[in-house]
A and B are shown apart, each in its own frame.
Chain A
Amino acid sequence: AQSVTQPDIHITVSEGASLELRCNYSYGATPYLFWYVQSPGQGLQLLLKYFSGDTLVQGIKGFEAEFKRSQSSFNLRKPSVHWSDAAEYFCAVGPYATGTASKLTFGTGTRLQVTL
């Protein structure tokens, strides 16, 4: 069974500081990895995704993530956090399967607080 672990429930960083959100996954095949962001009372917005190729992927809003197969990790990073980045961040894993509407498994989320 696939699973996703986000070890940090809550993180607080100062505006302008760097950020790294951790994500570890368990999956028996080639994983398809995602990071989503959710603002309060809103749906989820895709930040970035990885399924093959360069293990460092760039996303929207200045975010990037690095896939490390040996560590089963897909950590999200941002060099300089803005106050508007305060939100809930979810890591998700799914099968890389063509022609099927496959399900995603979400981590428990990390709430990011940004101090001014």
Chain B
Amino acid sequence: GAVVSQHPSWVICKSGTSVKIECRSLDFQATTMFWYRQFPKQSLMLMATSNEGSKATYEQGVEKDKFLINHASLTLSTLTVTSAHPEDSSFYICSARDSRGFSTGELFFGEGSRLTVL
């Protein structure tokens, strides 16, 4: 199956700093990627839809200035948590759909990135 890779797998940062998380589709092109946030023992909450070459679409309640998304190429989307605070600590997961197979609907998920803000 298709592979989606996230980096870093885990990161610890100080409050007030910014953190960038990368999501790459390794063996396919993805015009659209999705960013999710998962709190401990909870489900995945969609944060935003990342569109290659255009602005991301954010879900209601998600601060676009707080969570900057850039989808500069067909294989890379980045999520930057700006001025991070302890409440931003979470597990962030990205997913992508192979652009050649829209009809299958299947999403491929990255391994996730655990962010801890001190």
Contacts and interface: CB of A to CB of B under 8 A. Distances in A.
Interface stretch (A12-20, A21-29, A43-51, A71-79): A43-51
B25 interface: no
Q: Sort chain B's interface into a size bin.
A: 20 to 34
Interface in A38-80: 41-46, 49, 51
A101 B31 contact: yes
A106 B44 contact: yes
B102 A43 contact: no
Contacts, number: 62
A42 B41 contact: no
A107 B45 CA distance: 10
B56 to A, nearest CB: 12
B111 to A, nearest CB: 5
B63 interface: no
Contact of A107 (B43, B102, B106): B43
A102 interface: yes
A19 to B, nearest CB: 20
A108 interface: yes
A87 interface: no
A100 B32 CA distance: 9
A49 B106 CA distance: 8
A36 B43 CA distance: 12
Given A45-B109, A107-B43, 7 more contacts: A46-B107, A49-B106, A101-B34, A103-B34, A105-B46, A106-B44, A109-B42
Interface of B: 1, 4, 6, 31-32, 34, 41-44, 46, 49, 91, 93, 95, 97, 102-112, 114
15 contacts: A41-B112, A43-B6, A43-B93, A44-B95, A45-B109, A46-B1, A46-B106, A96-B105, A100-B102, A103-B34, A103-B49, A106-B43, A107-B43, A108-B42, A109-B43
